[in-house]
Chain A
């Protein structure tokens, strides 16, 4: 057998492997490691080419080094590629010690000390070691989905390694190593091995890629099917062209009541699943126009005639070149019902609110009308009552004048009683009108100098002779903002009370004082008059609540009620302190206009 012919054939077969793996490399971009395999086949092919160059005497030594280096490196690349393919770590210590040692030793025994026997031992041991190591590593790296092809590759590598191991043994045992081109069995065997193993490895690698991608595809499909069938939502694949159903999941069976066999091969229109055909038409139109629809709420009919509302999303996709629709439908009947209930209750609350507001407005208007009527009634009564009172007092007055000097003492006194009664009734009526009117007359608030107001009020409630009998003092009073007319009236009421209840006492003192405290401006009118029983302090401010103080004090009993109304109208309050025969103090508080600024 001609060694050169064998080497050439080996080189050509390696070239074919390069072509095959190049195609794999180009086609398959998802897997790592294929590039290294390409490097393996290229290295081995180049090594074969160098083997042929040994014929030239001047290139012989270089060719020997290159050929052996490339062959050993090629197997190393194969190892690295397999590790990469399986995402395993390359055993760096092995690669970093064995490979460089071999390369260095081989170069030494070629270029420095040309010893063919040592070289043969070196290359055989190195190839055996790398092949066996690779087989071993691949065995632990292989996955279940690729075990067949990985086992095949392991077997080939094992044979390869054992071959070189036995060849090493033969050489070590003393077999004569001859020139590469002498056709001894020892020389022919590695070439045949290279030929067979190279092809088997290349085929094995391609099968490995295929097996892995097939396995992964099956897994992906299984995953999808699992997803498809475990989804509680109804998934449906139909052909666009005629609406014929290609696949449904268990979710569809559960939701629609139709079994898979009833649905497959039938058009959706046959199943009569849409309660309104217009809905289906609308979805088909939308799909034609946009390619997808999302969360469309559609009323559906089950096989048993019951209905539900589904939220449907669908997308057009291509299956074997034919447009299909995948739709996913979720039952939202409950959701819809809850939503509707929520909307309904919100609407009802809204309605109640509106009704309530209307009722409040009606009642307020009624109340306002009633108030106005009441007010009109008060004025009308006042008017009507005053005329007869005027007649009583007027004609009694006339009588008094007519009979002047002719009347006995009793007569004068009785007539006086009639007139006083009439006048008192008139005062009552006027006070009542004032009390009723406090709330209705619009206020004209202005800054008020309270000290001056108090002094003027005192002048107004008592004549000079009476005033002279009083020790009247006005302290420093905080300014207020209010209706000057009403506040003046308030002082008049309190001061006239103080004067009135002080008259029976020898010690007549009225002190007006004030202070600012806690956002309030306080004004205090204090006297040493007859006072009152503190038990009744709260009752003082009611209408007609004058306490029994004796015949010498006159009053209608409305004054303090009016005073309170004025204070309250200003956002303030009023309180009374006193003891029986120990004087009284009335304090009214108004919001302090200066409080906000501090």
Chain B
């Protein structure tokens, strides 16, 4: 029985993705982090569509780390889609981005983001940020009981 996926990392930059996965690897069981390279892949994974037909990731995911600048479907759109669907409405989404545009921060919180974290450039700060996020949301935080429930 493989480890259920707890963290969905939505990140298009390969370097960032590698660094993030490395950072998370030391605080999470193997296989519990899924990386989606763009918005479409992220939604397919969450809703069990396309390559993930019949295996909706939303059922086990406890944290979505979402970059804003994504090809195909942008981070804002992914966030909107997640919040619009009953199955994913209560999944914690933390925006993880380089953007410091106040308008972006405001927009994300209005759309229902649970957090907004600016990726540090410095290696260890970046590593620490990711690890703390994973620790908090997957260990400390108590998820909503209606998680993954079928729509009424």
Q: A441 vs B102: C-alpha distance in the bound complex, in angstroms?
A: 8
CA distance A389 to B16 in the complex (A): 10
Q: Which of B107-128 contact A (CB under 8 A)?
A: 119-124, 126-127
**Which one, A76-84, A116-124, A257-265, A394-402, is touching chain B?**
A394-402
Q: Which of A422-467 contact B (CB under 8 A)?
A: 422-423, 426, 430, 433, 437, 441
Q: A379-B101, A383-B98, A397-B124 are in contact. Are A388 and B15 (CB under 8 A)?
A: yes
Given contacts A390-B121, A398-B123, A423-B122, contact A379 B19 (CB under 8 A): no
B126 partner residues in chain A, CB cutoff 8 A? 390, 393-394
A residues less than 8 Å from B120 (CB atoms): 390
Min CB–CB distance A427 → chain B (angstroms): 9
Q: What per-residue 1/0 map shows which CB atoms of B17-58 lie under 8 Å from chain A?
A: 001001000000000000000000000000000000000000
Chain B residue nearest to A419 in the complex (CB): B123
Report the bound CA distance from A394 to B14 in whole Å.
12
Closest-by-CB residue of A relative to B12 is A387
Known: A379-B99, A441-B102. A397 touches B16 (CB 8 A): no
Other-chain residue from B99, B100, B101, B123 in contact with A397 (beta carbon distance below 8 A)? B123
Tell me, yes or no, whether A177 is within 8 Å of chain B by CB. no
Give bound CA distance, A577 to B101, whole Å: 35
Count of chain B residues with a beta carbon within 8 Å of a chain A beta carbon: 20
The DSSP consensus for interface residues of chain A is: helix
- B100 contacts A390, CB within 8 Å? no
Residue B69 interfacial (CB < 8 Å):
yes
Supposing A387-B13, A388-B15 touch, asked if A394 and B97 sit within 8 A by C-beta, the answer is: no
| Interface residue? A374 (CB, 8 A) | no
Q: Which residues of A contact B121 (CB under 8 A)?
A: 386, 389-390, 393, 422-423, 426
Not counting A379-B101, A383-B69, A387-B98, a sample of 15 additional A-B residue pairs whose C-beta atoms are within 8 angstroms of each other reads A382-B98, A382-B100, A390-B19, A390-B121, A390-B126, A391-B19, A393-B122, A394-B19, A395-B15, A396-B123, A397-B124, A419-B122, A422-B121, A426-B122, A441-B102
Q: Which residues of B contact A (CB under 8 A)?
A: 13, 15-16, 19, 22, 69, 97-102, 119-124, 126-127
Q: List 17 A-B contacts (CB under 8 A).
A: A379-B100, A383-B98, A386-B98, A387-B15, A387-B16, A387-B98, A390-B15, A390-B19, A390-B121, A390-B126, A391-B16, A391-B19, A394-B126, A396-B123, A398-B22, A419-B122, A433-B100
